[in-house]
Structure 1
Amino acid sequence: MLAQETVDLSATVARHLPYLRRYSRALTGNQASGDRYAVAVLEAVVAEPTTLMQHDDPKVSLFSVFHSVWSSSGAPVAEADAGLAGMAQAHLAKLTQNSREALLLNTIEGFDLREVSAIMGIDMDEARHLIDIALREMEESVRGSVLVIEDEAIIAMDIAAIVEGMGHRVTENARTHSEAVKMAAADKPDLILADIQLADNSSGIEAVNEILSQFGDIPVIFITAFPERLLTGERPEPAFLINKPYTEEQVRSAVSQAMFFSSTDSLRN
């Protein structure tokens, strides 16, 4: 391969890798296992660079390589069979095959039906059918309480309406770090949905970390206009990350995914 081609290949992969890693982690429910799949995809691309040219869009090609690796491995989720991971696996066994992959590709990663069908190697009608099935099955799997941490009132109201429309209970809406910690202590949530920049210039990430230090494992969804800042690979990253501006489908999908992978005894099975 020519030097320029190598540079172009590296730049293409680097541009799309944060999103591939986000998808992989959401799919497996675990950062470590998700990143192992991302590494396997990189190894496959290095071994056969032409795989990035199998579709017109290199990003579609990269995700298509992922699905080849994912399918050949049997599409497992996080390795542990106890605790939250074990509960997630039990729920996963009840879902229609391939439906969650189609849902994530469409609603979280933003691929249209044609691209989803190309990535998964299925026709568009099947892709649409799988997405509809996944939304219904995952929303029906669990119900819980949600703490919204968002300083923009209109956005907070919109998120609350979406979450409550899914059958979950919104405990509170916090606008600052201190409010978030106080509200979580007063009514422990099953899920946290947080912006990263709050009204008093405090950090939603720091607020979430303080809450988690008190209560342990609570699933978290971050909403941000700058997802690259949280997808660096330099520290633990959220499995569920929504870009601003978001769509209702993205919020519904992420909430269903997060609840699905982190079912606790307080959630309705």
Structure 2
Amino acid sequence: MATLYEYYNTGDDSRIGAWAQAWNAQTFTPSVAHKITSVKLLLFRKKLPGIVTASIRATDASGLPTGADLCSGTIDGDTLTTDEAGAWYEIILGDGYILAANTTYAIVIRAPTGTVTNTVEWRLDVSSPTYPGGCYNASNNSGVDWFANGNYDFMFEEWGEPIPVVAPTVTTQAADSVEQTTANPKGNVTDNGGEDPTRYIDYDTDSGAPYAHTKDCGVGGVGVYNSNLTGLIPETKYYYRARAVNSGGTGTGSEMTFITKSRAVAANMAAKMME
């Protein structure tokens, strides 16, 4: 059964039409990762706009639609209501697309065979919009160039299904800042598995699990993380691995090693710095 995720579906007080080269879009930002499967839009028609395409696109650094369609669907615009209050229409987006959390996307609408008098009209709020995750966008050259107006929000609902959470993927990275009693072994989460994991560095003076010590590095997403270990024994070989845990399971990296500095090396380095 489909789940409603992002939406802005009340407060409309105007409409903007799309036809041929005049395209409209509403950007939105999912708060949780999921697979989008359809959109519901508050639409009506003027005369006969023909087939209407709705698609999902990525956005650029400025928050404007960019690139090819990530998924798309169509509806016969000639069958839409002519009542200017509009009606809600669901457009199925083919195989759908997995959306990342906290990433902005765009719902793009166009009527390729429409004209300035044969349009698909999308209801929107131009007086007091409150959707926080995006805004109205438009293009006058078939999606080549876009502009946004943060004072407008189209009426939309985006529907989809949850993504099953699986164990994260993590690799062990080389340690740096190795001193007598401190070191910074690192890990790298390359795939969060659909849920940001708690990240760890397991370490010991003996090779292999179970490890005697574990540093909790906190919850985080994809990327390198630090452990900043303290209280180590000088001139000692340590074995360590990265580990990450979410509700889907545990991912571990391969074992690596580092050797803490001896007191003599540290003393010599200090003496040279004093010279």
**What TM-score bracket applies, with the shorter chain setting the length?**
under 0.3
Higher helix share: 1
Greater strand share, structure number: 2
Larger radius of gyration: 2
The two structures have a TM-score, normalised by structure 1, of 0.22
When normalised by structure 2's length, the TM-score is 0.22
